[in-house]
């Protein structure tokens, strides 16, 4: 007894010591702006030299999403900025570096040394306008309350963002809008806004000929680029970690701006730029897989279909019984209908982000959110389909002596089938569209190229996600129209013709 | 094979639909429930079918007290026909007729035999058996409704205004066919109508109701010769005969 098991255990031990820790596939995260993705790609390229399974979960969203994912262990490492850590992650409650390290220690998080450049927040405007209004530093803005401001959504809410800035400089501007950082440059160019927040390493500063206003009161702290990583990485994948941390003190501000420019303005892919950086800096040829357009499309389609089909199937399995219960038990039914109705009113982006603390990042939180969204149309259509069965038919079904279950199966559900199916169809189409947001929390799908396309101002990339998503929605509709012929009984279809 | 009603009362939102109803339906007879709209005749037939539970009182079907636990059992010995037939639109004629028999596990052979027998009895064309209700005429729907009610060979047949929605010629023809079937099958029949002529034509006994109460019972002869009150007399005289115009 146990003899075979012992041999197995010994083999396993030997195996583990021959291939130590590096069997752990490190997951690298990045935020949804170009610089973060480039650093993520460089780290991935370096990491892959040790372990081919290193994975880059790119464009995951904002600071909150990445930080939560790191603490939860959904990712192992991601590039961050020191100012952001103090102001945003710890809400400005931490003053000394000592306190910061203590907080990290409690959460088993470690911080690398600076990667070599500072990417601070700054306020920018068109050079021409600045000259005309004679604006040189941020305090000059006080004289111009009429200026229209478009700040990135994250900047609007950050402690070190607009609120703090306004207080520090006592700024009078009222016309302040929040928008996507990458769209802000376009707003500036088209003249819809006059002032935006910028990162000091943004390639667009040169490209759009912007004036960076002097922070004469030194409001913005340092934003030195660093890596945050899980402490257990030192045991699980020391080789990969060592390789990634080679980046400490190796990216200058000038080279970061250049890389940003190559991607955002030169149109190169992040992985290409990352690979060139590794080659120049470390003299190593980067190990990057080149994906063709169709590889990507296939991958995105696979992910999108996975999100949609799993969430929809689960929603169908839960919603139809819920609809039946709502129909049978009126009081409880009202509660069910209200709850699924309330879920529907939660904005989809918010619902996605709510899921992160529960399920982390990736496909499952997106599937749960999509599932919740798909409930209402199916529950309501099941309920109303059953409710709309004429009284005389319900009475006839009872009068012939069928018990409740048989009545439901043989009479009520077939009579409600058209309504139920159209609820499912509505859910499916909404689901295909909403699933594009899944990319924000690392679920992939057609949202991925859309997200990248918005970031890089690349219409063809946006279309590469939007067109297949629209086609899929049409296809889903077509499939359900076909289903209708199979599922809705012939007698009901004759009537409607 | 009788139906006995004792002290039946039923009210909706404090308005009485049935008030202290006592009646014994005689086995093998056709009894007609008649009265103005809202008199409670349809409520009464629904109570007998167990579709509505009375507030107080009881109904005994075939000697058995109707309770929620034996409703399904008792419905198998009661055939029920409503206006328009109440046919399930998603099922073909034969599926409508055989739904309960199939549920009870009858063999296909037995089912087909019974359907054929019933289509002869109700004069329903055999080639219409595969059709759906939306493809049938009003009269045909009613014949199918009757076939469905008779499928399990029930002891009782209850009809709620079965001919109410038909045009006069078809109605005339169906009345004759129905009466023939009642006579042939010798079942205990309870039929609701608002038409005194129809009541006179079918009823071995007639039960006249008003405001949830039974006003008078008896044969048509009793009603004509010995009306109990002004209301009965008025109700009988409210029927126009074409003879008036001769």
pLDDT score of B64:
87
Nearest CA in chain A to B76: A401
Give every CB contact of residue A457 below 8 A, 6+ residues apart in sequence: A182, A185, A186, A264
> Residue A126 belongs to what H/E stretch?
strand A121-126
Set of chain A residues whose Cβ sits within 8 Å of the Cβ of B89: 393, 415, 491-492, 495
Q: How far is B49 from chain A (nearest CA, A)?
A: 7
pLDDT score of A157:
80
Residue pLDDT, tens place only, A265-281: 888 888 889 999 998 88
* Partner A, chain B 53-92, Cβ-Cβ below 8 Å: 72, 75-76, 78, 80, 82-84, 86-92
The helix/strand/coil state of B106 is coil
Nearest CA in chain A to B74: A401
pLDDT score of A39:
95
| Averaged pLDDT for residues A13-35 | 71
More confident residue, B32 or A350: B32
**What b/e sequence results for A188-207 when a residue is b if at least 16 CB atoms lie within 10 Å of its CB, and e otherwise?**
beeeebbbbbbbbbbbbbee
Instruction: Return the bridge partners of B34, or none.
Output: B193, B208
The helix/strand/coil state of B82 is strand
Q: Which of A403, A414, A495 sits opposite B72 (nearest CB)?
A: A403
Residue pLDDT, tens place only, A232-264: 999 999 999 999 999 999 999 889 999 998 988
B99 touching A (Cβ < 8 Å): yes
* Angle between helices A330-345 and A293-328 in degrees, nearest 10: 150
DSSP H helices, A265-390, are 270-282, 293-328, 330-345, 348-359, 363-387
To test the contact with chain A by mutation, choose from B83, B86, B144, B146 the residue with the greatest count of A C-beta atoms within 10 A, namely: B86
Nearest CA in chain A to B80: A399
Report percent pLDDT > 90 for chain A: 49
Q: ipTM above 0.90? A: no
Instruction: Return the bridge partners of A92, or none.
Output: none
What are the tokens at A352? 């996605």
pLDDT score of A16:
47
Query: Which residue segments constitute the domains of chain B, with CATH numbers given?
Result: 1-77+154-237 (3.40.50.300), 87-153 (no CATH)
Nearest CA in chain A to B151: A400
pLDDT (tens digit, 0 to 9) for every residue of chain B, 246 residues total?
789 999 999 988 878 889 999 999 999 999 999 999 889 999 999 999 999 899 999 999 988 888 888 989 999 999 999 888 899 999 999 999 999 999 999 999 999 999 999 999 999 999 999 999 999 988 899 999 999 999 999 999 999 998 887 888 888 999 999 999 999 998 999 999 988 889 999 999 999 999 999 999 999 999 888 888 899 888 888 876 666 665
CB contact under 8 A, B91 and A489: yes
Q: How far apart are the first and last CA of chain B?
A: 45
* Parallel/antiparallel/unpaired status of strands A77-81 and B15-25: unpaired
Residue A75's Cβ-side half-sphere holds a number of Cα atoms within 13 Å equal to 29
Give every CB contact of residue A332 below 8 A, 6+ residues apart in sequence: A325, A326
What are the tokens at B170? 């078809």
> Residue A56 belongs to what H/E stretch?
strand A55-57
pLDDT score of A181:
81
To test the contact with chain B by mutation, choose from A388, A401, A485, A496 the residue with the greatest count of B C-beta atoms within 10 A, namely: A401
Q: How far is B241 from chain A (nearest CA, A)?
A: 33
Residue A496 has pLDDT above 50, yes or no: no
Set of chain A residues whose Cβ sits within 8 Å of the Cβ of B131: none
The helix/strand/coil state of A44 is helix
CB contact under 8 A, B89 and A491: yes
Query: Which residue segments constitute the domains of chain A, with CATH numbers given?
Result: 3-116+223-282 (3.40.190.10), 121-212 (3.40.190.120), 293-496 (1.10.3720.10)
Q: How far is A2 from chain B (nearest CA, A)?
A: 55
What are the tokens at B122? 């109700």
Neighbours of A180 (CB within 10 A): 17
pLDDT score of A322:
95
How far is Cα A478 from Cα A472, in angstroms, rounded to an integer? 10
Chain A residues near any Cβ of chain B (below 8 Å)? 392-393, 395-403, 406, 410-411, 414-415, 417, 489-492, 494-495
What are the tokens at B84? 């328009």
pLDDT score of A379:
96
Residue A159 has pLDDT above 80, yes or no: no
pLDDT score of B47:
93
How far is Cα B194 from Cα A254, in angstroms, rounded to an integer? 97
Q: What is the DSSP letter of A290?
A: P
Contact A408, A325 (CB under 8 A): no
Contact A259, A273 (CB under 8 A): yes
* Partner A, chain B 120-139, Cβ-Cβ below 8 Å: 132-135
Instruction: Return the bridge partners of A124, or none.
Output: A196, A212
Give every CB contact of residue A98 below 8 A, 6+ residues apart in sequence: none
* φ/ψ (deg, to 5) at B204: -70, -40
Nearest CA in chain A to B145: A396
Dihedral sign, CA of B122, B128, B129, B135?
negative
Q: What is the DSSP letter of A402?
A: -
Q: How far is B225 from chain A (nearest CA, A)?
A: 38
Q: Which of A393, A397, A494 sits opposite B135 (nearest CB)?
A: A494
More confident residue, B184 or A442: B184
What are the tokens at B94? 């034969």
Set of chain B residues whose Cβ sits within 8 Å of the Cβ of A401: 72, 75-76, 100
More confident residue, A97 or B79: B79
The strand ranges marked E within chain B are 3-12, 15-25, 30-34, 56-61, 64-65, 78-82, 156-160, 188-193, 205-210, 213-218
What are the tokens at A52? 């081919």
How far is Cα B161 from Cα B140, in angstroms, rounded to an integer? 16
Q: How far is B83 from chain A (nearest CA, A)?
A: 9
B164 touching A (Cβ < 8 Å): no
CB contact under 8 A, B103 and A392: no
CB contact under 8 A, A396 and B99: no
The strand ranges marked E within B13-49 are 15-25, 30-34
Nearest CA in chain A to B88: A393
Residue A36 has pLDDT above 60, yes or no: yes
Q: How far is B237 from chain A (nearest CA, A)?
A: 32
CB contact under 8 A, B86 and A490: no
- What are the CA-CA distances from residue A280 to residues A202, A239, A272 (Å)? 22, 22, 12
The helix/strand/coil state of A33 is coil
Set of chain B residues whose Cβ sits within 8 Å of the Cβ of A492: 89-90
Instruction: Return the bridge partners of A197, or none.
Output: A123
User: How confident is residue A295, by pLDDT bands cut at 50, 70 and 90?
Assistant: confident
CB contact under 8 A, B90 and A399: no
Q: How far is A316 from chain B (nearest CA, A)?
A: 23
Set of chain B residues whose Cβ sits within 8 Å of the Cβ of A415: 88-90
Set of chain B residues whose Cβ sits within 8 Å of the Cβ of A402: 99-100, 103
- Using only C-alpha atoms, chain A has a radius of gyration, in whole angstroms, of 28
Q: Which of B72, B86, B132 sits opposite A396 (nearest CB)?
A: B86
Contact A211, A130 (CB under 8 A): yes
Q: How far is A418 from chain B (nearest CA, A)?
A: 11
Residue pLDDT, tens place only, A388-426: 999 989 999 999 999 999 999 999 999 999 999 999 999
């Amino acid at each position: 007894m146990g003899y075979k098991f012992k041999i197995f255990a010994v083999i396993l031990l030997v195996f583990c010591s021959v291939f130590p820790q590096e069997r752990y596939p490190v997951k690298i995260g990045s935020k949804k702006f170009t610089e973060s993705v480039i650093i993520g790609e460089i780290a991935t390229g370096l990491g892959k030299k040790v372990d081919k399974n290193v994975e880059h979960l790119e464009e995951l969203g904002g600071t909150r999403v990445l930080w939560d994912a790191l603490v939860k262990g959904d990712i192992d490492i991601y590039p961050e900025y020191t100012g952001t850590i103090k102001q945003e992650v710890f809400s400005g409650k931490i003053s000394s570096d000592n306190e910061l390290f203590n907080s990290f220690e409690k959460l088993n998080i470690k911080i690398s040394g600076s990667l070599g450049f500072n990417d601070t927040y700054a306020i920018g405007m068109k050079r021409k306008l600045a000259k005309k209004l004679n604006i040189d530093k941020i305090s000059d803005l006080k004289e111009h309350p009429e200026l229209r401001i478009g700040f990135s959504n994250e900047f609007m809410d950050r402690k070190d963002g607009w609120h703090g800035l306004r207080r520090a400089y006592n700024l009078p501007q009222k016309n302040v809008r929040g928008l996507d950082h990458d769209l802000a440059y376009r707003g500036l160019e088209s003249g819809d806004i006059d002032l935006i927040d910028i990162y000091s390493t943004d390639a667009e500063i040169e490209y759009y000929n912007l004036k960076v206003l002097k922070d004469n009161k030194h409001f913005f702290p340092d934003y030195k680029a660093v890596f945050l990583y899980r402490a257990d990485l030192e045991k699980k994948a020391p080789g990969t970690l060592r390789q990634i941390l080679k980046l400490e003190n190796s990216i200058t501000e000038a080279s970061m701006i250049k890389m940003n420019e190559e991607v955002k303005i030169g149109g190169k892919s992040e992985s290409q730029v990352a690979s060139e950086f590794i080659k120049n800096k470390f003299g190593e040829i980067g190990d990057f897989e080149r994906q063709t357009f169709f590889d990507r499309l296939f991958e995105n389609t696979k992910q999108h279909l996975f999100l949609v089909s799993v969430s929809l199937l689960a929603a169908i399995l839960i919603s139809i019984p819920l609809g039946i219960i709502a129909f049978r038990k009126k009081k409880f039914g009202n509660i069910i209908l209200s709850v699924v109705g309330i879920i529907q009113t939660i904005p989809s982006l918010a619902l996605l982000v709510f899921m992160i603390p529960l399920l982390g990042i990736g496909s499952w939180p997106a599937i749960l959110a999509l599932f919740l969204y798909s409930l209402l149309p199916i529950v309501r259509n099941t309920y109303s389909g059953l409710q709309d069965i004429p009284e005389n038919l319900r009475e006839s079904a009872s009068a012939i002596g069928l018990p409740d279950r048989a009545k439901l199966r043989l009479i009520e559900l077939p009579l409600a089938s058209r309504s139920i199916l159209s609820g499912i169809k509505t859910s499916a189409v909404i689901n295909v569209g909403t699933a594009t947001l899944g990319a924000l929390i690392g679920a992939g799908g057609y949202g991925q190229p859309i997200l990248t396309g918005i970031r890089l101002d690349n219409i063809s990339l946006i279309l590469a996600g939007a067109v297949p998503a629209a086609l899929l929605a049409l296809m889903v509709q077509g499939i359900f129209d076909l289903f209708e012929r199979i599922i809705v009984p012939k007698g009901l279809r004759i009537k409607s013709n | 094979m009788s139906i006995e009603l004792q002290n039946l009362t039923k009210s909706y939102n404090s308005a009485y639909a049935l008030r202290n109803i006592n009646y014994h339906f005689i086995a093998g007879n056709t009894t007609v429930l008649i009265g103005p709209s809202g008199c409670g005749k349809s409520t009464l037939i629904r109570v007998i079918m167990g579709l509505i539970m009375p507030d107080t009182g009881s109904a005994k079907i075939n000697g058995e007290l109707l309770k929620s636990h034996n409703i399904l059992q008792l419905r198998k010995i009661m055939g029920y026909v409503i206006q328009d037939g109440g046919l399930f639109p998603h099922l073909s004629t034969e599926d409508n007729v055989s739904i309960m028999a199939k549920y009870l596990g009858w063999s296909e052979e037995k089912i087909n035999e019974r359907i054929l027998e019933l289509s002869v009895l109700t004069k329903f064309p055999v080639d219409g058996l595969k059709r759906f209700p939306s493809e049938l005429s009003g009269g045909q729907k009613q014949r199918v409704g009757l076939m469905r009610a008779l499928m399990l060979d029930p002891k009782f047949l209850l009809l709620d205004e079965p001919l109410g929605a038909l045009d006069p010629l078809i109605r005339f023809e169906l009345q004759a066919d129905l009466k023939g079937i009642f006579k042939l099958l010798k079942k205990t029949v309870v039929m609701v109508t608002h038409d005194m002529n129809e009541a006179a034509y079918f009823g071995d006994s007639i039960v006249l109701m008003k405001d949830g109460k039974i006003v008078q019972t008896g044969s048509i002869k009793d009603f004509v010769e010995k009306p109990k009150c002004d209301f009965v007399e008025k109700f009988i005289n409210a029927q126009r005969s074409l003879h008036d115009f001769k």
